Amino acid sequence: MGVKERKLRQKKFLRQEILDAASELFVKEGFENVSMRRIAEKIEYSPTTIYLYFKDKAELLEQVCSETFARLSAHLTRILDQSGDPQERLKRGLIAYINFGLENPHHYRATLMMPKPEGFDRQKHSLPDSPGIQAFDFLRRSVYDCIAAGKFRISDPEIISQTLWSGVHGITSLLIIHDKEFPWVEQKQLIPFVVDTLISGVARNHA
């Protein structure tokens, strides 16, 4: 690896380290209570270094959200591209969504559970080509596939998609926030059962 390539990789790693630290601090201490200096202290760099990557903490939060959605979308797309029964593929995708949130709790909370501050560009994140909408489109396309295959007794993809997302977001949020405060059954039992229950609510009964 040449000097240029090594510097580019180091720059990428540092940028990610900044985003990771920012998401953790935003969740733990609150967006308004976190300064760029505080983030710099967290990663043991000078504030000047952070300003080389981000102009302010609002841009930091926007990038945390965008990159979290982009990673989630890429993860779910790999599942969507698999062959096989569309309903089983949808189940795998919903389980993968939950696991993604549990494996990235600070990023998930900053992106989907934390109130957005004044000045946050909500309109930008609601555009059709935004990472967040693209991630939701995984769910919508999977639902379309199930409807086309005659798997669901309801033909409205929007109400089904939003209902399923509400369900998986709910269990993800609960497991992140109350993981130590409630006597949960094992996640390997709970998560598939929640997803099966959600799907059975809209699935066609072939009995």
pLDDT given for residue 4 in this prediction:
61
85 plus 49 within the same structural domain: no
Could you tell me the CATH number of the domain that includes residue 38? Answer: 1.10.10.60
pLDDT given for residue 96 in this prediction:
95
User: What is the domain extent for residue 18?
Assistant: 1-54
pLDDT given for residue 3 in this prediction:
53
DSSP 69-84: HHHHHHHHHHHHTS-S
pLDDT band at 10 (very low <50, low <70, confident <90, very high): confident
Could you tell me the CATH number of the domain that includes residue 122? Answer: 1.10.357.10
146 plus 180 within the same structural domain: yes
Check pLDDT > 90 for residue 127.
Answer: no
Q: Read off the tokens for 201.
A: 């609510």
pLDDT band at 6 (very low <50, low <70, confident <90, very high): low
pLDDT band at 179 (very low <50, low <70, confident <90, very high): confident
89 plus 165 within the same structural domain: yes
Burial class (CB in 10 A: 0-12, 13-18, 19+), 68: buried
N-to-C CA span, the chain: 61
Structural domain includes residue 103 = yes
pTM across the whole model: 0.87
**Domain count across the chain:** 2
Q: pLDDT tens digits, residue range 37-51?
A: 999 999 999 989 999
- Helix (H) or strand (E) segment spanning residue 2: none
45 plus 145 within the same structural domain: no
83 plus 140 within the same structural domain: yes
160 plus 84 within the same structural domain: yes
- What mean pLDDT is predicted for residues 9-17? 85
Structural domain includes residue 126 = yes
